[in-house]
Amino acid sequence: MLDVSVRANGVRFAVRVQPRASKSGVDGVHGDALKVRLAAPPVDGAANAALVALLAELLAVPRRAVRIVLGLQSRAKVVEVDGIGAEQVHLLARHPRKQP
């Protein structure tokens, strides 16, 4: 079950990243984390930048509203997103989407 913590300005949740996937997108839940596939390789921060861009696009927030707060060099990350509620993250997890 995806664990989403409500914060003062938004939400915080765990993400499990699979870099070098054929397509970028959300692929459901892995344990208590949102499973995200990224086409970008985990080199020079490319996968982190791709994760921020993808989540911002899918959650309809500006990129500056998405921050990786833990796990910059790990597949297991914790992300904060300002300006949304927990239901938006749960909705994204229930209805996985690929990047257009």
pLDDT in tens, 15-44: 999 999 999 999 999 999 999 999 999 999
pLDDT tens profile 73-97: 999 999 999 999 999 999 999 987 7
Output the pTM of the full model. Answer: 0.94
Tokens for 50?
């791709």
User: In sequence order, what DSSP letters do the residues of 29-58 get, joined into one string?
Assistant: EETTEEEEE-SS-SSTTHHHHHHHHHHHHH
pLDDT at 96: 75
1 pLDDT band, cuts 50/70/90, is confident
Does pLDDT of 13 surpass 60?
A: yes
Confidence band, pLDDT 50/70/90 cuts, at residue 4: very high
| Residue 31 near residue 13, CB atoms below 8 Å | no
Identify the structural domains of the chain with CATH numbers, from first to last: 4-94 (3.30.1200.10)
Cβ within 8 Å of residue 7, ≥6 positions away: 80
